[in-house]
Amino acid sequence: MKYPAIKFENVWKIYKLGEVEVPALRGLSIEIEEGEHIAMMGPSGSGKSTFLHLAGALDRPTRGRVLIEGRDPSRLSDGELSALRNRLIGFVFQTFNLIPRLTALQNVMLPLMVRGVNGEERLRRAREALERVGLAHRMNHKPTELSGGEQQRVAIARAIVTNPRIVLADEPTGNLDSVSAGEVVELLTKLNRELGVTLVVVTHNPETAAPARRIVRIRDGVIYEEN
């Protein structure tokens, strides 16, 4: 049986601030099919980052279910959760999250080290990932020696080096100038098209969302429009 890549079933996420309950998601339901490119748009505080954290099994819903390829992460142990994320999901963040003391190549190899891939294979796959994002000539440079756009491309290489089936990008162009942002959007779209990965991009920027096959708009924790 083929399952959706990601499925939300009446998902609520409620945060407690002292005695006050703040709902970030309010009964959200959505299916994202394998290989789909979807953009989740909404203003700050709309719930879109909460959505991404739940979709990536980084958090658990207060009520309802999140299924990743038919599996419920809330039923997994911490070790099983880490294995699921490492095997299935690649993450791209607005702030890049690169380790400053490591080169681009070493940063990209990190997820393979977690997986236990041997040194020679790690090196080969990390080089291939950096070549795919157009940074073969910068692989021995540290993040401080790279532009913002180059750092984000390193982060994308790190996200795809494990051959994930799902890539989740949280405001991937938020810290970039317009030219670098356009290059990153083009690269992510190309990876979705060529590798067939399911791509979910959370953004408030219409230009970042434009290439998506489906745009979902969220406000106050609920979906109010899809096109």
pLDDT tens-digit readout, 162-202:
999 999 999 999 999 999 999 999 999 999 999 999 999 99
- Residue ranges covered by each domain of the chain: 34-53+76-226
Across 52-67, average pLDDT:
96
Q: Is the pLDDT of residue 31 over 90?
A: yes
Q: Which strands make up the sheet holding 63-68, listed edge to edge?
A: 20-32, 6-17, 63-68
pLDDT at 226: 92
Q: Is the pLDDT of residue 1 over 80?
A: no
Across 144-149, average pLDDT:
96
pLDDT at 197: 96
Across 49-63, average pLDDT:
95
Among 12-16, 111-115, 208-212, the minimum mean pLDDT is found in 111-115
pLDDT tens-digit readout, 87-128:
899 999 999 999 999 999 999 999 999 888 998 999 999 999
Tell me the pLDDT band of 82, cut-offs 50, 70 and 90: confident
Query: What is 34-53+76-226's CATH superfamily?
Result: P-loop containing nucleotide triphosphate hydrolases (3.40.50.300)
